[in-house]
Amino acid sequence: MSQQVSAQASRAVEAPGLEARDVRKRFGRVEALRGLTLRVRTGEIYGLVGPNGSGKTTLIRCLAGLIRPDAGAIAVLGTDPRTAVGAGRVGYMTQAAALYGELSVEENLRFFAALAGVDDVARRIEATLRTVELLDRRRSVLATLSGGLRQRLSLAAALLHDPALLLLDEPTVGVDPALRRDFWAHFRSLASRGVTILVSSHVMDEAARCDRLGLISEGRVLAEGSAGDLVARTGTSDLESAFLALSEGPS
Ligand SMILES: Nc1ncnc2c1ncn2[C@@H]1O[C@H](COP(=O)(O)OP(=O)(O)OP(=O)(O)O)[C@@H](O)[C@H]1O
Ligand SMILES: [Mg+2]
């Protein structure tokens, strides 16, 4: 038994944080993912960048076990997505907030904590609210909060159960620059503790903070590398120009 546990533990250490291989997903006539392959190391922050409709959210939903790919293979923390999610190891911040408008900030988090089976709920809620700077609004009804404050609560809900993998779908939309910087300091500190982070973004300064970036186009990874690599490879002066060059034609 203990041998089995340690074998599992060592497999978990060796396995990448997540891996998608040749993943395909079709919705009726739309082929949202067309053979998408990527690998994210444990403790790495990987950014998904790509135009609207390129398949970023569809990939993230596959990784969160919400939809099944038509073809290809996905491993999350060394196992299949539903097992990892069921074990409370995955935090998912959806692109559209999945919160309850009539509940207070704290009641929303209590609800998510119950779903995720969080121990020591009061302490975790307080710590997470402090992280996203919402502690003083804990009793406010969600519907009365501004968009940016709701975004902070969505992030808090994803962090509450201390997941080993964070899937963040455009997490800082509507968040002001100072708090965005704080969010990123927090992401970096989580990654340094071994949390794997996959984040989609349209914001270039945020993309540049990722360890590696994947440019997604029409359901595939068109180019991959650090921000510096991509700029150097295209002979451009900034990341936005690099993405435009990569999107427009063969490099
Ligand atoms: N449930 C669905 N039913 C039908 N089509 C869908 C569904 N989900 C996604 N699609 C389609 O799949 C394609 C990829 O959508 P997806 O939401 O993954 O893109 P995205 O890269 O996240 O875009 P954005 O940057 O706008 O968030 C789009 O053409 C979209 O219309
Ligand atoms: Mg999306």
Q: Which residue has the higher pLDDT, 135 or 250?
A: 135
Q: How far apart are CA 56 and CA 153, in angstroms?
A: 22
- Check pocket membership of 57 for ligand 1, CB cut-off 6 A: yes
Residues of the chain with CATH 3.40.50.300: 34-89+163-251
Residue 11: what pLDDT?
A: 47
174: three-class secondary structure by DSSP? coil
Residue 203 CA to ligand 2 center (angstroms) comes to 13
- Check pocket membership of 50 for ligand 1, CB cut-off 6 A: yes
Residue 250: what pLDDT?
A: 60
Per the document, the length of the chain is: 251
Nearest ligand 1 atom to alpha carbon 61:
18
Enumerate residues 6+ apart whose C-beta is below 8 A from 213: 46, 47, 48, 49, 207, 224, 225, 226, 227, 230
Task: Kindly state the helix (H) or strand (E) to which residue 31 belongs, with its residue range.
Answer: strand 30-40
Tell me which residues have their CB within 5 A of the ion that is ligand 2.
Answer: 56-57, 95
pLDDT > 60? residue 6: no
Q: How far apart are CA 63 and CA 77, in angstroms?
A: 10
Nearest Cα residue to 158 out of 60, 247, 19, 242: 60
Rounded to two decimals, the pTM is 0.91
Q: How far apart are CA 12 and CA 229, in angstroms?
A: 29
pLDDT > 90? residue 251: no
Using one digit for the tens of pLDDT, what is the confidence trace for 148-159? Answer: 889 889 999 999
Using one digit for the tens of pLDDT, what is the confidence trace for 163-182? Answer: 999 999 999 888 888 888 88
Site to substitute for ligand 1 among 27, 33, 66, 222, most atoms within 8 A of C-beta:
27
Structure tokens at 128: 């997470």
Using one digit for the tens of pLDDT, what is the confidence trace for 73-82? Answer: 999 999 999 9
Residue 14: what pLDDT?
A: 61
Q: How far apart are CA 85 and CA 91, in angstroms?
A: 8
In CATH, what is the architecture of 34-89+163-251?
A: 3-Layer(aba) Sandwich (3.40)
- Average pLDDT over the chain reads 90
- pLDDT band of residue 184 (cuts 50, 70, 90) is very high
Q: Long-range contacts for 80-84 (Cβ within 8 Å, ≥24 apart)?
A: 84/165
- Residue pair 94/199 in contact (Cβ under 8 Å)? The answer is no
Average pLDDT over residues 10-37: 88
Q: Which residue has the higher pLDDT, 15 or 188?
A: 188
As to burial, measured by CB atoms within 10 angstroms (0-12 exposed, 13-18 middle, 19+ buried), residue 206 is buried
Q: Which residue has the higher pLDDT, 15 or 227?
A: 227
